[in-house]
């Protein structure tokens, strides 16, 4: 019974309304008195809530009865109506939200445990262009992020992303480069004397992600101009 109540509440009913509906469904045809007795609620409460349920189409009044009788509406019918209404509401939301004005730029900062995993995955499913470019810095000794990156690279592969990265020649990135080969990602290696960054940068759509491994921190900026700037720099270096 508790499961049935929880399910009905998930459709927008209050717990008392759900109790009344279940009592009436169990009784078949019933008066308000019988429903109150079955549900354990007071009769005045039942009268008020029955009217609410009737307005919402969950309870029907039987016409021409000597006493006012009620019957629960077939759950298949109101579930179909609920699904249709929810589908329409979701479509309206998706149509109308883009029309709202919102800032072209916003910044998010992920910090602490789990920051890398959250930041790397952030925004992936909203990107149409499946090409990611990155400047990866060597991971400092003692900072363990290999599992997060392996999970992330696997996610990129499953979602159909292509990754190109520019990295310094380093002795501690063997695991990452093996993933490059495994998933078909492309890497350009540059001598440490020329390229030895302390932070990593990824660009995905309009998102630019700055990764500071030592602090376990990631800064995500949504700005097309910033993203395009890094893409231009990347392309110049990549073609050399």
Q: What CATH number should be reported for the domain holding residue 135?
A: 3.30.870.10
88-127 pLDDT, tens per residue? 777 777 677 666 655 555 888 888 777 888 888 888 887 8
* Gap between the Cα atoms of 61 and 21, Å rounded: 13
**Domain harbouring 75, CATH code:** 1.10.10.10
Q: Are residues 73 and 149 in the same domain?
A: no
What residues make up the domain containing 44? Answer: 2-85
* Gap between the Cα atoms of 208 and 224, Å rounded: 9
> Helix (H, G, I), strand (E, B), or coil: what is residue 170?
coil
pTM over 0.85: no
What band does 13 get if pLDDT is binned at 50, 70 and 90?
A: confident
Q: What are phi and psi of 203, to 5 degrees?
A: -125, 125
What band does 75 get if pLDDT is binned at 50, 70 and 90?
A: confident
Among 85, 120, 149, identify where a domain stops. Answer: 85
Q: What are phi and psi of 135, to 5 degrees?
A: -110, 110
Q: Are residues 135 and 70 in the same domain?
A: no
Q: Are residues 7 and 116 in the same domain?
A: no
Among 30, 51, 85, identify where a domain stops. Answer: 85
221-238 pLDDT, tens per residue? 988 899 999 999 999 999
Range from 35-44, 92-101, 194-203 carrying the lowest mean pLDDT: 92-101
* Gap between the Cα atoms of 126 and 166, Å rounded: 24
Task: Give the pLDDT confidence score for residue 133 in this predicted structure.
Answer: 92
Is position 96 within any domain? no
């Amino acid at each position: 019974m508790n499961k049935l109540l929880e399910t009905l509440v998930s459709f927008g009913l209050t717990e008392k309304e759900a109790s009344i509906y279940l009592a009436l469904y169990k009784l078949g045809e019933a008066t308000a008195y019988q429903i109150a007795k079955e549900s354990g609620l007071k009769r005045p409460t039942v009268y008020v809530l029955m009217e609410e349920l009737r307005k919402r189409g969950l309870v029907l009044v039987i016409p021409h009865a000597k006493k006012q009788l009620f019957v629960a509406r077939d759950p298949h019918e109101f579930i179909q109506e609920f699904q249709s209404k929810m589908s329409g509401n979701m479509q309206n939301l998706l149509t109308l939200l883009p029309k709202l004005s919102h800032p072209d730029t916003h910044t998010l900062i992920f910090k602490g445990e789990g920051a890398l995993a959250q930041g790397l995955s952030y925004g992936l499913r909203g990107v149409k262009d499946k090409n990611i470019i990155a400047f990866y810095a060597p991971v400092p000794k003692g900072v363990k992020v290999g599992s997060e990156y392996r999970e992330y690279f696997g996610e990129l592969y499953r979602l159909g992303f292509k990754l190109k990265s520019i990295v310094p020649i380093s002795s501690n990135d063997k695991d990452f480069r093996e993933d490059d080969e495994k998933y078909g990602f492309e890497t350009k290696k540059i001598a440490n004397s020329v390229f030895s960054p302390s932070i990593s940068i990824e660009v995905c759509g309009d998102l630019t992600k700055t990764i500071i491994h030592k602090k376990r921190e990631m800064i995500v900026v949504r700005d097309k101009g910033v993203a395009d700037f890094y893409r231009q720099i990347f392309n110049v270096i990549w073609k050399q």
